[in-house]
Amino acid sequence: MFSKLIAPAFAVLAAISILVDAARTHNGHTTADRPKIVPFPYTTGKKFYDSPRRTRHCFVDALGNGQDDSDNILAAAKSCNNGGTIALLDDLYLIGKALDLTFLNHVDFDIQGTLKFIPDVAYWEANSFKFTFQGANTMILFGGEDINIFGSGKGTIDGSGQTWWDGYATNSSIYRPMMVGVSGMKGGTWSGLKMQNPPNWFQWVTDSNDIIYDNMNLQVFSMNKNSPKNTDGWDSYRSDNIIVQNSVVNNTDDCFSWKPNSTNIVVQNNQCTGSHGMSIGSLGQYQGVYDLVENVLIYNTTMTNVGSAARIKVYPDVNPNVPNNGASGGGIGMVNNITYDGMHINSADWAIELTQCYGQSNQTICSAYPSKLVITDVMFKNFDGVASKKYDPKVATLVCSSPLVCQCIHTKNINVKPPSGKPAQHVCKNLYRGFLEGLNCVDS
């Protein structure tokens, strides 16, 4: 065993130390063992990466006194790439630069302190990583092969969202970034981390596969009257073979949102509070673009004080008499083989919300221009709990734009009650009611 201080090109990099195992302590801190993450009780049926043991540690010492630690974190990632662990063990690290960590290969991040993004609105608006879909942009990007990021119940990533929410209150065009981007990650785990107060979505997962999230804690809280905005927990896009399990989300938007071309995903044993739902979509937003969400299981979820619990949202076709600009419907594709099993509801406006009229409030217009995106083979089963009073006695709404593009929708054992104690009602339109076991269907 030996310890060697890197001879840096810049003095700031003297805050990095590399120790070849088996050293496990640094400046009074002890590194954590990478947890063994196992999908349970369900998995996707596809393979996940079996990470080999890492052989060295790169310790990053926080500079303190309000100084930016970004350069040191990036340097450590490069130094410990290909078989090492980047250890962030101090109490607070400040990130003031966009970090592109998409070059990673066989590395771990041991995060025991807080990584806090400096709330420099002008900088992040100009320098965040931009994506074309729905204006997505992120402050940091992780990508590569075989990456494990763990917090051992102590590590935190803080997006300093309050500054952005305050700015949005007076300027709704402020370009709020997502906090963490996962782009091109092929195999890895995220576990034991707390994430809090993103400016926008917590996590944007794109063009990635074979990833497990376990024991994550996502929280938003405002210090004044300006509430958090669009704080989705996870948004997946063009990604395959993902599991999210044993996690807690307290936010103000979708708990998990399956965006286009999300396949083979299991979300299980999670708790969501304040969210818009476990949401397939929105899909079909871009005219002529093919969207697919397929092979998804949502199992054993507790939904508390939510707008919707189980949600599928698809745009209708476009009205040729109304300008569309290519981004308000008319997409094609399919939602296929989706199962919501075990939703435990403590106040939801809708226990189930299925719509092919997303973005179109006029049902007559929606029926005149039905969705081109097919929804098929969906099961909602084993729901219990109490809805909110918002639509009492209605507790669910399943509204298709046409029975030709909305088929094989099943329900079973739906036992969600309205708070009034009246018999529950369920809005059902343009779908075969023979598969809706136990629903008391009404037209509106």
Parallel, antiparallel, or unpaired: how do β-strands 84-88 and 25-26 relate? unpaired
Is there a cis peptide before residue 199, judged by omega within 30 degrees of 0? no
Cα separations (Å) of 209 from 42, 189, 264, 444? Answer: 17, 11, 10, 41
Cα 215 from Cα 150, distance rounded (Å): 10
How far apart (Å, rounded) are the C-alpha atoms in residues 44 and 52? 22
| Neighbour-count burial of 318, counting CB atoms closer than 10 A to its CB (0-12 exposed, 13-18 middle, 19+ buried) | buried
Helices (DSSP H) in 5-81: which residue ranges?
70-79
**What does the alpha-carbon distance between residue 155 and residue 190 come to, in Å, rounded to a whole number?**
11
Does residue 50 sit in helix, strand or coil? Answer: coil
Q: Where are the alpha helices (DSSP H) in 97-249?
A: 121-127, 161-170
User: Of the listed 57, 106, 276, 426, which one is catalytic?
Assistant: 276
H/E stretch holding 365: helix 363-368
106 labelled catalytic: no
Residue 53 Cα distances to 211, 221, 236, 310, angstroms: 18, 38, 29, 39
Cis ω for the linkage preceding 282 (within 30 of 0): yes
172: CB partners within 8 A, 6+ apart:
none
Residue-wise over 1-18: b if at least 16 C-beta within 10 A, else e? Answer: eeeeeeeeeeebbebbbb
CA–CA separation, 10 vs 142, rounded Å? 24
Q: How far apart are the first and last CA of the chain?
A: 72
| CA proximity to 381, closest of 438, 441, 319 | 438
Tokens at 162, concatenated: 């309050």
Active site residues: 276
